[in-house]
Amino acid sequence: MRILIGALVGALLSCLALTGSAQTDYPNRPIRIVIGYGPGASTDIAIRTIADKLSQRLGQPVIVDNKPGATGMISAQTVARAPADGYTLVSFNPDLAGVVPALYKIAPYDPLKDFAFIGRIMRNSGWIVAVNPSVPAKSLDEFIKLAKSAPNSLNYGSYGIGSLAHLHFEALKRKTGIEMVHVPYKGGALSYQGAIGGEVQIVIGTSFIELLRSGRLRPIAIGGAIRSPLFPDIPSLAEMGLGDQIFGEVYLGLAAPAGTPPAIVQRLSAELKEVIAMPDVAQKLGQFGDPAYASPDAFTAIVQRDFNLYGPLVRSLGLNTQ
């Protein structure tokens, strides 16, 4: 019996030693960041910017792996099922936090149990609401009146069925009593092109600033509670009496599989914080939002908030039919 106990204790100590060694020499091979959108999307550009800097700081390649589809569900499932060793990460946003899990009668993953959150990278206080310049409405109020005058004559574009953009437009329809036709695209950039081409009349986004500045799209409102410094003359939805949740805050962060050693999570989070603070990175991220690091605990709380916010909204709109 003593021999058996001794053998078990020895095996346990060996495992602990190996685990400790694996953490202290982390990383010793390439790290993969999985994102749920295609190349060229704002998420793709932002994550590649972060990945390049992390590669330099960590001394190992940080590879971006695009797995678009199902509003990011494929990317989330891929990482949730990956080994919890810090070598497979996922870009995380409000879609993955609250929308996607609620779209399915049997949730494809649990955002609060299946991930260890590393940190937030950036945020926007709200989406920008924009229309094709040929649309006569110069404000959201005017657009709502136009939509009410001819129900289902106007189309709105989103980056997919069940996407956050889809959800917000449906919430706007419910709030204002308008009727529009949903045209889903396979990405935000494609929805913007659809708006430029006249396939849809209205879209929302955070990464089409140049399209707005060039006049190819016209901004008519800002989601959330505050105005955008880029378009200070455009009112927020809260100012219009529509609250701060419709077209509200969006963000981007990183997460690892649940069970990833805390030391690795903290190491990655510390490196992420340093990278976000770099002037060239901040300038690049500033094209899409505000660089805004949040710690693992703070980012976890943000995900919890959106899980509680968007899940009930998805179900109340009857979108959870899959």
Cβ distance 122 to 252 under 8 Å?
A: yes
pLDDT in tens, 154-175: 999 998 888 889 989 999 999 9
C-alpha 234/C-alpha 16 separation (Å) is 58
% of the chain beyond a pLDDT of 70 = 92
DSSP sequence for 173-232? HHHHT---EEEE-SSHHHHHHHHHHTS-SEEEESS-HHHHHTTSSEEEEE-SSS-BTTBT
Name the band, by pLDDT with cuts 50, 70 and 90, for residue 18: very low
For residue 79, is pLDDT > 50?
yes
The pTM (predicted TM-score) of the whole model is 0.81
Cis peptide leading into residue 27 (ω within 30°): yes
Q: Are 137 and 211 within one domain? A: yes
110 falls within a domain: yes
Domain count within the chain: 2
Closest CA to 195 of 220, 170, 177, 176: 220
Residue 177: the pLDDT is 96
For residue 4, is pLDDT > 60?
no
Q: Are 261 and 217 within one domain? A: no
Domain CATH code at residue 311: 3.40.190.150
pLDDT in tens, 56-67: 999 999 999 999
Residue 170: the pLDDT is 92
Q: Are 110 and 155 within one domain? A: no
Q: Are 164 and 138 within one domain? A: yes
Please tell me what DSSP assigns to residue 71: G
Structural domain of residue 50, as residue ranges? 30-121+251-316
Give the tokens for residue 207. 């990464």
pLDDT in tens, 256-312: 999 999 999 999 999 999 999 999 999 999 888 889 999 999 999 999 999 998 888
Residue 196: the pLDDT is 97
